[in-house]
A and B are shown apart, each in its own frame.
Chain A
Amino acid sequence: MSEFASTYPPKVIVTKIGFDGHDRGSRLVAAFLRDAGMEVIYTPPWQEVATVVKLAIEEDAEVIGISSLATDHLLVPRLMTALRDAGVNDVQVIVGGIVPALDEKLLLDAGVARVFHPGTSLEDIAAEIRALSARARAMRSSELQ
């Protein structure tokens, strides 16, 4: 009898790039996602873009959640480029935090799936991540692997 789960938990990275160190938000999100049944690779702040790409590859992550308080979201376009250059095209990226309206468009144009602003409920974030995890899996199963 198979001991494997037939549906397995979404695999999400919760991380911060750039210089900001406020991690109250990312910690809360990580805990909430765990409580919502997901597997969360959680990192402290100040991760290099290259490190996040390596993490995404090695952990076979489906979604990357970037928490940004203090304009570090300006580095996200670099992350999107780095992911593409590494051949990682199915990982879904979301950004949560303080992102001015104009920058939101910049991020979406760069390929970010969704931007969350302060005041968003954790429940809504979890629901979106679940949907994005499903999207990533659909993209993978349609690849020739």
Chain B
Amino acid sequence: MAADAEWLKRIRAGDRRTIARAISAVENDAARAEVLREALAAHLGRAHVVGITGPAGAGKSTLVNALVGELLARGHKVAIVAVDPSSPFTGGAVLGDRIRMAEHQANERVFIRSLAARGHAGGVSRATAQVIDVLDAAGFDLILVETVGAGQSDVAIAKLARTRVVVYPPGLGDEVQALKAGVLEIADILVVNKADLPGAERTARDLLSMPARRGTEHKRLVLKTVSTTGDGVAKLADAIAAHKMQRVASA
């Protein structure tokens, strides 16, 4: 227990090694995870957890990279959890998302951790929830949880976030109709990235016109961004901040 008190102290002080070790513990060691969960419980609630997902080709990683830049400029301490699928056959994974945030690798106010999904949705979402808690206790005021695609684990993880952002490429057309289920349903902010390409306006309109989830006043916001130039990224950061206030206000 003394070791855990020491760990907690270091986590709260922002010691990266200990934060990383704690994350590994919640990923890999059930007994440890439980002990840590208790220790961290009193120090949670400060971070704004933002889920970011979207289909391949949306330029999601470039957008996250640009968003992180904007958030850092606004003085935030940002943690990014990048979740990638594990091979169902071998259990291995190539975790290559963080490399797309090359610009921010060296920044001291950024902590990036890659997670492999390791099997079914339930498992990864429990581990991710605890990883978020570690980062919350460590004092990061924004935690971006990035998942690829729109699979089951993505929905499970998205539910962990307070603000859910889904990023689309332009030109989806009829596919928008097919996307009703899953992540789109629970999205708070929809982003059409690569908005300089043809079809962006149409896609934005299509997304906006989709019916909201039944039984909710779920107001969907649709934004357009060009992640390579930074267009619209400030607005996205504003929308995320506004959404936090909105949720807090309605709590």
Q: Name A residues whose Cβ lies closer than 8 Å to a Cβ of B.
A: 2-5, 8-9, 11, 30-31, 33-44, 48, 50-51, 54-55, 57-60, 87-88, 144-145
Query: Which residue of the partner chain, among B3, B92, B102, contacts A145 with CB atoms under 8 Å?
Result: B3
Which of these, B6, B105, B118, contacts A5 with CB under 8 Å? B118
Tell me the smallest distance from the CB of A12 to a CB of chain B, in Å: 10
Are A42 and B94 CB-contacts (below 8 A) given A34-B87, A58-B113? yes
Contacts of A55 in B (CB 8 A): 98, 105
Contact partners of B105 in chain A: CB under 8 A: 51, 54-55
Partner of B95, one of A4, A37, A41: A41
Q: Which residue in A37, A87, A144 is a CB contact (below 8 Å) of B90?
A: A37
Whether the Cβ atoms of A40 and B94 lie closer than 8 Å is yes
Apart from the given pairs A9-B116, A34-B94, 15 other A-B contacts in the complex at a CB distance below 8 Å: A3-B126, A4-B27, A4-B30, A34-B87, A39-B92, A39-B93, A39-B116, A41-B95, A41-B96, A42-B95, A48-B106, A57-B17, A58-B16, A59-B113, A60-B23
Inter-chain CA distance A54–B105, complex, in Å, is: 8
Q: Write out the residue numbers on chain B whose beta carbons fall within 8 Å of the beta carbon of A144.
A: 3
Complexed CA–CA distance, A101 and B152 (Å): 50
For A3, what are the chain B residues with a Cβ–Cβ distance below 8 Å? Answer: 30, 122-123, 126
Least CB distance from B74 to A in Å reads 22
The reply to whether B90 and A4 contact each other, CB–CB distance below 8 Å, is: no
Q: Which residue among B3, B17, B30, B92 has the maximum number of chain A CB atoms within 10 Å of its CB?
A: B92
Q: Is the CB of B28 within 8 A of A8?
A: yes
Interface presence of B62 (CB below 8 A)? no
CA of A8 to CA of B27 in the docked complex: distance in angstroms?
9
- In the complex, the answer to whether A59 meets B90 with C-beta atoms within 8 Å is no
Bound-state Cα–Cα, A2 to B28, Å = 11
Give me 27 A-to-B residue pairs in the complex whose CB atoms sit less than 8 angstroms apart, sorted by A's number: A3-B30, A3-B122, A3-B126, A4-B27, A4-B28, A4-B33, A5-B28, A8-B27, A34-B90, A34-B92, A34-B93, A37-B90, A37-B92, A40-B95, A41-B98, A42-B96, A43-B96, A57-B16, A57-B17, A58-B19, A58-B113, A59-B95, A60-B20, A60-B23, A88-B17, A144-B3, A145-B7
Given the complex of chains A and B, what is the CA–CA distance between A122 and B232 in angstroms?
A: 45
Indicate the member of B94, B102, B112, B118 with the most A CB atoms within 10 Å. B94
**How many of B's residues come within 8 Å of A, CB to CB?**
39
Query: What is the chain A residue whose CB lies nearest that of B10?
Result: A145
Closest beta carbon of chain A to B110's beta carbon, Å: 9
B29 close to chain A: CB less than 8 A: yes
Task: Name the one of B23, B24, B94, B122 contacting A30, with C-beta atoms under 8 angstroms.
Answer: B94
| Contact in complex: B20, A40 (CB < 8 Å) | no
On whether the beta carbons of B114 and A59 are closer than 8 Å, the reply is yes
User: Bound complex: CA of A35 vs CA of B19, how far in Å?
Assistant: 29
Q: What's the Cα separation between A88 and B21 when bound, in Å?
A: 12
Which of B3, B86, B114, B127 has the most CB atoms of chain A within a 10 A radius of its CB?
A: B114
- Residues in B with CB closer than 8 Å to A58 are 16, 19-20, 111-113
Report the Cα distance A44→B96, complex, angstroms: 9
Q: State the Cβ distance, B96 to closest chain A Cβ, in Å.
A: 5
A85 to chain B, nearest CB (A): 13
Nearest CB of chain B from residue A137's CB, rounded to whole Å:
10
Given A58-B112, A60-B23, A51 and B106 touching (CB < 8 A)? yes
Cα distance A38–B27 in the bound complex, in angstroms: 14
Q: Is the CB of B113 within 8 A of A9?
A: no
Bound complex: CA A144 to CA B18 (Å): 12
Say if the beta carbon of B99 comes within 8 Å of chain A.
yes
Does B91 have its Cβ within 8 Å of any Cβ on chain A? yes
Residue contact B106 to A33, C-beta cutoff 8 Å: no
